[in-house]
């Protein structure tokens, strides 16, 4: 306080001496009011208890939707993210299908003309396949490593074919 002017020192000292009695009076008034409040709190709180209870119930009813939203927040987050992902994937599929739908018109091309320029696309018919297999014969079939059954074992004594004759021999390479 040495830096302050002498007038400031007198002013602050005077204000301190003037405000001290007012502060002391306010302190004791506050103590008296708190004592009276403590005395009256018991009967008043007992009298107001039903109103406080009903008020808290209505406050609970008002805030109930927010409590439910808070409980189901993870579910809402999951469904929201799933909806956004579904919309993005749906839009992507829509636009990709829209672009892939623009197929050139090939209705005026005759199939025989296509096979004339691209003969490997035609392939063989079943009839041509069977004729080719018949020409190769049984001797040209590759050995599968299994023991072969003779024709005499495959037929029964009466000449009827039994189950062994009906087995299907698997081929190593397929022509299809």
The string of DSSP letters for 54-65 reads HHHHHHHHHHHH
- What digits encode the pLDDT tens for the residues 132-172? 777 765 555 555 555 555 545 545 555 556 666 566 666 66
Please give the residue that has the higher pLDDT: either 49 or 3: 49
Predicted pLDDT of residue 134:
74
DSSP at 137:
-
- Phi/psi for 161 (5° steps) reads -80, 140
Predicted pLDDT of residue 120:
66
- What digits encode the pLDDT tens for the residues 9-64? 888 888 888 888 899 999 999 999 999 999 999 899 899 999 999 999 999 999 99
Instruction: Report how far residue 59's alpha carbon sits from residue 7's, in angstroms, rounded to the nearest whole number.
Output: 58
Instruction: Report how far residue 121's alpha carbon sits from residue 4's, in angstroms, rounded to the nearest whole number.
Output: 109
Instruction: Report how far residue 108's alpha carbon sits from residue 121's, in angstroms, rounded to the nearest whole number.
Output: 18
Q: pTM of the entire structure?
A: 0.30
Q: How many CB atoms are located within 10 Å of the residue 149 CB?
A: 12
Residue 96 has pLDDT above 80, yes or no: yes
């Amino acid at each position: 306080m040495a830096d302050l002017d002498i007038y400031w020192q007198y002013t602050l000292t005077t204000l301190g001496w003037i405000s001290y009695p007012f502060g002391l009076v306010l302190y004791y008034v506050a103590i008296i009011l708190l004592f009276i409040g403590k005395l009256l709190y018991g009967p008043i709180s007992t009298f107001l208890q039903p109103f406080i209870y009903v008020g808290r119930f209505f406050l609970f009813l008002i805030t109930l939707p927010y409590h439910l939203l808070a409980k189901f927040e993870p579910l809402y987050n999951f469904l929201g993210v799933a909806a956004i992902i579904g919309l993005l994937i749906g839009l992507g599929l829509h636009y990709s299908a829209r672009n892939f739908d623009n197929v050139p018109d090939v209705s005026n091309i005759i199939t025989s003309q296509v096979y004339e320029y691209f003969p490997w696309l035609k392939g063989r018919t079943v009839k041509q396949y069977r004729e080719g297999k018949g020409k190769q014969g049984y001797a040209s079939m590759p050995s599968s490593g299994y023991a072969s059954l003779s024709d005499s074992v495959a037929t029964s004594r009466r000449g009827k074919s039994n189950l062994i004759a009906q087995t299907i021999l698997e081929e190593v390479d397929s022509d299809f």
